[in-house]
Amino acid sequence: MESRIIEVEGPRGIVSSIRVYQGGSGPDLLFQHGAGGLLPDDPFLARLSEHFTVHAPLLPGFEDSEGGEHLRTMLDFTLHAFDVWETLGLTRPLLAGHSMGGMLAAEMAAVAPHSVDALALLCPAGLWRDEAPVTDLFAALPFELPGLLLHDPAKHGVLLSAGGDFNDPEFLTEFLVGNARRLGTAGKLLFPIPDRGLGDRLYRIRARTAVIWGASDRMIDPSYADDFAGAIPDAQAIVVGEAGHMVPYEQPERVVEVLLGLRS
Amino acid sequence: MKFTWFNLMPWPYLPDDFREKYRSVWVDIPSSLYDPVKGHEVYNTYLDELEYAESLGYDGIGVNEHHANGYGLMPSPNIMAATLARRTSKSALVVLGNSIALYNPPIRVAEEFAMLDVISGGRLLAGFPVGTSMDTNYCYGQIPALTREKYKEAHDLIIKCWEADEPFAWNGRYTQLRYANCWPKPIQKNPPIFIPGGGSLETYDFCLDYDYVYCYLSFSGYKRAKQLMDGYWQRVEERGKDLSPYRAGFAQTIVVAESDAEAERDYRQHIDYFYNRCLHVYPGFADAPGYRTIKTLKANVTTQMTRQALGDVSKMSWDQLVGDGYVIAGSPDTVVSRMQDLITSLRVGNIFCLLHVGDMSKDKCMRSTRLFAEEVMPKLRDMWPEYADDDRFWIHPIDQAPRAAAAAVGA
């Protein structure tokens, strides 16, 4: 997967530099990442690129993407995502998003229902029920993350830390600095409660939608799959076994199969 | 020198196994640990101590703001200051301070501070902290990466409220008021403003832009504060400002007894209660991602976040706490000498004297407070003779004569 920096114009002459990973062949797919960002040599994007031309922009604060000072609200982020879309020259990509990125993708499809035909939401954030509180990612300690995000931390834990050890102070320092940048941006959408009113707008979505959830997601309870699928007019909920919040990484084949089914 | 007597107002009944049983003294400490009937006694005792401090000649009496905090029982410092405004007549009311990003709309702070200043006859000293992550983000839900921008806007609104003579429209990003109009206005046109900081260049500059007092409020004592305060003074010089020590303040835990041995005997358990029980904060709440700038973060990253560190409940000893300067403890002579070190090494004109510590009884607190006022303060008063006339950073009350006095109880 190749990557490059694109310049995206914002209000009053503000320009943000956005790193975009691109690769593969086939229909366009625009992927919105979660609060953790992409993984090194992202294995899920690699699988997607076997079937799609993948475009995965990184929000400011993630890797070397910069210039998000003007992004404060859900609407700011949604319009910024369309600005990126236009800068990339996309027309009608399959829109997919994971976790926070799923929240963003759903918001985009609700704000511009005539622009999005196909939508894949992978354990999206954005709704809240008191009976199933979303885990407070912002107060979680790094060493707790594998247990919260993965069905099988022993098998896939290395994915999250790229081989580092969250109990090693040196690695931890580096991780925390990067994490502060990433979650600083993510907090604008997710803190303190990841609900910016999306539930009131889901009815507007016209896209064929797949809502995919890991059955053992400990970050956002899988029961939210039905809430999303129930509120979006043309949506189907798919709960995938032996997967947690990182379902695209723990069960990539199953997820890719669902996405292939969304093609027109 | 200006001495402000400070009480954090800790809950003195945290159980012995608090650290083992609960993950944090702040944010998610269960309120079942609080007993409001005992709380009645606690609040009134603490207020008695503040009033007592005034009677001994402390220049200021201080209150602050915390939320869901087992060692700081003042979610509304303005309520505490209001009771003190009526029961005192000389000391500055040091409200350190109102976390202005948390008040909606923030004109509320302009109004309440003006009320305090008017009731007290111009004795308000106003603090505007950005606030800790625990209070601001986790307890009060502010988005970490937007907190500073919101703080700055609130500051600008409050200052304009105090300065404007006519209603004005405020079209802010976080607050919109068609009619911003602060009734009452403060007696002091510009009450002195103190800003707590933690070493970021942005805060140094903010204080110097407006000639506010930079305050380092730490519990780790003066020896550890040297590097940070040196950074501040270096910035003051770079900005071409005068080096008045009244531009800076520092909080220090202090206990005074007749002798060093008596200090250890009488105060050790209370110091232990505060440092080894009250300061038990879950590291996941200490620093919401995005709250601190990346530059500040790189310099101060905590490594308390490992599984191993989390399980560590080792305690700091009296010798360590006193030896490393977390606590200044001992006979009046010992305390004078340590305080001289503190004042000259940090170059500070304002001391926030943390003279109530942990679960200390009223009797012990009053004794320590009295010894400091009578035996220590007089020997430190004139440490900055060349700045003796510098009154830019302190309160300017109205004359005693026209000031209304509180009637005696039952009168």
Q: Which of residues 163-182 of B touch A (CB under 8 A)?
A: 173
Q: At what angle do helices A169-190 and A100-111 cross, to 10 degrees?
A: 20
Mean pLDDT, residues A204-223 taken together: 98
Banded pLDDT at B409 (limits 50, 70, 90): low
Closest CA to B212 of B126, B118, B111: B126
Interface contact A203, partner B, CB < 8 A: no
As a three-state string, the secondary structure of A61-93 is: CCCCCECCCCCCCHHHHHHHHHHHHHHCCCCCC
ipTM of the predicted structure?
Answer: 0.94
Q: pLDDT tens-digit profile of B257-307? A: 999 999 999 999 999 999 999 999 999 998 899 888 777 777 665 556 677
Q: Which of A26-30, A164-168, B50-54, B108-112 has the lowest mean pLDDT?
A: A164-168
- Say what the alpha-carbon torsion angle A224, A227, A230, A233 is, to the nearest 10 degrees: -90
Q: Which of A70-79, B142-151, B219-228 has the lowest mean pLDDT?
A: B219-228
Closest CA to B244 of B31, B386, B42, B82: B386
- Contact present, B25 and B73 (Cβ < 8 Å): no
Q: Using CA atoms, how far apart are residues B218 and B322, in angstroms rounded to an integer?
A: 15
Q: Using CA atoms, how far apart are residues A111 and A210, in angstroms rounded to an integer?
A: 18
The per-residue pLDDT for A158 is: 73
Chain B nearest-CA residue for A144: B307
All residues of chain B having their beta carbon less than 8 Å from the beta carbon of residue A161 are none
Interface contact B304, partner A, CB < 8 A: no
Banded pLDDT at A155 (limits 50, 70, 90): confident
All residues of chain B having their beta carbon less than 8 Å from the beta carbon of residue A184 are 144-145, 289-291
Q: pLDDT tens-digit profile of B48-86? A: 999 999 999 999 999 999 999 999 999 999 999 999 999
Answer yes or no: do A143 and B137 touch at CB < 8 A: no
Closest in A138, A180, A183 to B294, CB measured: A180
pTM of structure: 0.94
The sign of the dihedral angle between the CA atoms of A145, A146, A147, A150 is positive
- Measure the N-to-C terminal CA separation of chain A; round to a whole number of Å: 25
Q: Is the pLDDT of residue A161 over 90?
A: no
Q: Using CA atoms, how far apart are residues B149 and B293, in angstroms rounded to an integer?
A: 12
Chain A nearest-CA residue for B282: A139
Q: Using CA atoms, how far apart are residues B175 and B133, in angstroms rounded to an integer?
A: 22
Chain A nearest-CA residue for B27: A139
Answer yes or no: do A180 and B297 touch at CB < 8 A: yes
Interface contact B26, partner A, CB < 8 A: no
The order of strands in the sheet holding A208-214 is A2-9, A15-24, A53-57, A28-32, A94-98, A118-122, A208-214, A235-240
Question: Comparing B51 with B202, which gets the higher pLDDT?
Answer: B51
All residues of chain B having their beta carbon less than 8 Å from the beta carbon of residue A185 are 145, 290
Q: Using only the alpha carbons of chain A, give its radius of gyration.
A: 17
Residue B349, CB-side half-sphere exposure with 13 Å CA sphere: 22
Q: What is the DSSP letter of B121?
A: T
Closest in A72, A177, A182 to B146, CB measured: A72
The per-residue pLDDT for B205 is: 95
All residues of chain A having their beta carbon less than 8 Å from the beta carbon of residue B292 are 180
Q: Is the pLDDT of residue B361 over 70?
A: yes
Alpha helical stretches, state H, B5-76:
18-21, 36-55
Mean pLDDT of chain B: 94
Banded pLDDT at B404 (limits 50, 70, 90): confident
Closest in B285, B290, B301 to A184, CB measured: B290
Q: Using only the alpha carbons of chain B, give its radius of gyration.
A: 21
The residue of A135, A138, A183, A189 whose CB has the most chain B CBs within 10 angstroms, and thus the best one to mutate to test that interface, is A138
B299 vs chain A: nearest CA distance in angstroms? Answer: 10
